[in-house]
Amino acid sequence: MPRQVFIKRVYYMVKLIHHFRKAGKKEKCKYCPGSYVDLAGHIQRQHAEKIQDEATDDGNNKSRRPRKPTNNQMENIIDTPATSTDASEHSEYGDEVQEMLTTRFKGMIEMVLQLKSDLEETKAENVQLKEAQNNLQRINLEQSQTIQTQATRNTEHVQDCVATNTQYKKNDDAEKKKIQELTAENRELIATLDDLKQRNYQIQSNFAIQRSELEAEISRLNVSFKSTVKNFAELKQSTDDSINRLTMSNDELRSIVKTKDIKIKQMEEEIHRLSFGTDADAVEEESFTYSGVCVKMHDVVVDSKIDYVLLSQKILKVNTCEDISNKNLNVWVADGKYITLKKSYQIFLEKELLCRENRVSTLLEYVFGCNFKKLVLINQEICFKEYQKLLASKRIEEVEFRRVQVMGEYDELLRIDEILKDIPNIHKFVYEFRDDEFKDQNAACETSKNLGKLQPFPNLRVFHLFNLQKGFELGKFIKKNPDVDFYPPKCVVETPKIE
């Protein structure tokens, strides 16, 4: 709000308040019907004659003009001493004049008091106006400072805008220069494009000519290829027919030759038997020469017995091989059939080998190879070569050694930790120590330490030890293989029956 407008509004408000204050003190005049005035001052100023008439004629003077005292009467009133209190000494107008003067004096006193009161109120209002003026000056000063600050900011903003505009002009000039350069480059590119279009037109013309020539050549080659394919199909059909006939003839000849070979060998054995008078089972065994043929048990069984003539110079694949408890004879059973070990053939063990009574060395002389999963040896002594042949299988998962003595490459005794190194994929391991396996307690302690140094076995689930000796502990080995079922009794138990 502007300062002048605010001052004007304050001035008119103060004036209106003062007017209403004075109006509130006015009374109704009996000589002026229908008007409200400052009664004391108004009657003395406007109706002095009426007051005088009322005083001189007891109010019975009905004339409109007041009756004035004569000169003699006024002189008597004036000459009369003011200290006289005797009414008879004055004229009839003296009382009226004194009363009139008294009334006027009282009115003047009241007026002076009223003026004094109005003066105080005016002073108070003046103080308020001065405070309002001070507030207005303070507000004006603050607004001036705000306007000055805003003007400074606007000036800085204008300067920034001018600097920005100057920078924009420079950028615009640079852009115009770039546009001119790009326009020149564009013209060069258009010229180059026109040249390329001309060359492309020439290339397309040449390509159309070459394409028509190539299509003609391809059509000629397709005709030639179709005829060649047809001839090849006919030739292949005839060749396949010939191969099928030759294959059938070859199979028939092989069957005939095989049958004749068998008959010839039988006849030779019969001739040899008749010539020397001996039984066929007592004939000296022939040496083994691998013919490259592998057979299974059902291929060489005739009338529920193994035909060793059919088995000659072949390798017999056996799933399970085990010995039979017989003190006098070296008896073996292969896949449920009694088998006689001969040098004319060899055995390949595929699944299991169980040796409890017989010496396993007698069997290994006739074993061509091993790929079994389960190995059980009880009361055996094997050399390093036999040990290598037995553990050559990469599929071995279950090993049971009970009182087995294994010799090393340099005829040293192999301990349990050295045996476990060669079977890292073992699932079940059962080992029974011999009574003389360790010379003393230090040897047992050293073996247990070596066992604890081995890497964990990820597939091992069962680890049973029997006939443990003093100084042998499994602490570290157990910590490295927490998922294994350990069973280490401290006394030799009776060897369970192997199924």
Tally of domains within the chain: 2
**3-state DSSP call for residue 164?**
helix
Residue 221, in any domain of the structure = no
Query: Which of 124, 151, 178 is at the close of a domain?
Result: 151
pLDDT score recorded for residue 393: 81
Residue 239, in any domain of the structure = no
Residue whose tokens read 């291929």 = 299
Residue 257, in any domain of the structure = no
pLDDT score recorded for residue 34: 60
Residue 396, in any domain of the structure = yes
Residue 449, in any domain of the structure = yes
Residue whose tokens read 């006689």 = 340
Q: How buried is 370 (Cβ within 10 angstroms: 0-12 exposed, 13-18 middle, 19+ buried)?
A: buried
CB atoms within 10 A of CB 405: 15
Residue 308, in any domain of the structure = no
pLDDT score recorded for residue 82: 43
CB atoms within 10 A of CB 436: 7
pLDDT tens for the chain, 499 residues: list them.
566 666 766 777 777 666 655 555 556 676 776 665 665 566 666 676 677 666 555 555 544 444 445 555 544 544 444 444 444 444 455 667 677 777 877 887 888 888 888 888 888 888 888 888 889 888 988 888 889 888 888 888 898 899 888 898 888 888 898 899 999 999 999 999 999 998 889 898 888 898 888 989 898 898 888 888 888 888 888 888 888 888 888 877 876 776 676 667 667 666 665 654 444 343 344 555 555 688 898 888 888 888 888 888 889 999 999 988 776 667 899 998 888 888 889 999 999 999 988 889 989 999 988 989 999 999 999 999 999 999 888 889 999 999 999 998 888 899 999 999 999 999 999 999 998 888 888 888 988 899 999 999 999 999 999 988 888 888 889 999 989 998 864 433 343 444 4
Query: Which of 117, 151, 185 is at the close of a domain?
Result: 151
pLDDT score recorded for residue 25: 54
Paired residues of 462 in beta bridges = 428, 485
CB 419 within 8 A of CB 401: yes
Distance CA 86, CA 97 (A): 15
Residue ranges with strand state E in 232-390: 294-296, 301-302, 305-306, 315-323, 332-334, 337-339, 346-355, 367-370, 374-378, 381-382
Distance CA 488, CA 481 (A): 15
Q: Which of 319, 326, 361 is nearest to 341 (CA)?
A: 361
Residue whose tokens read 């030779």 = 268
Determine the structural domain holding residue 115 and report its residue range: 3-151
pLDDT score recorded for residue 33: 62
- Rg, Å, the chain Cα set: 74
Sequence letter at residue 338: Y
CB 474 within 8 A of CB 495: no
Residue 495, in any domain of the structure = no
Query: Which of 151, 174, 199 is at the close of a domain?
Result: 151
Angle at 40 between CA 39 and CA 41, to 5 degrees: 95
Residue 325, in any domain of the structure = yes
Distance CA 414, CA 406 (A): 6
CB 396 within 8 A of CB 426: yes
String of DSSP letters for 408-440: -TTSPBP-HHHHHHT-TT-SEEEEE--TTS-SS
pLDDT score recorded for residue 456: 92
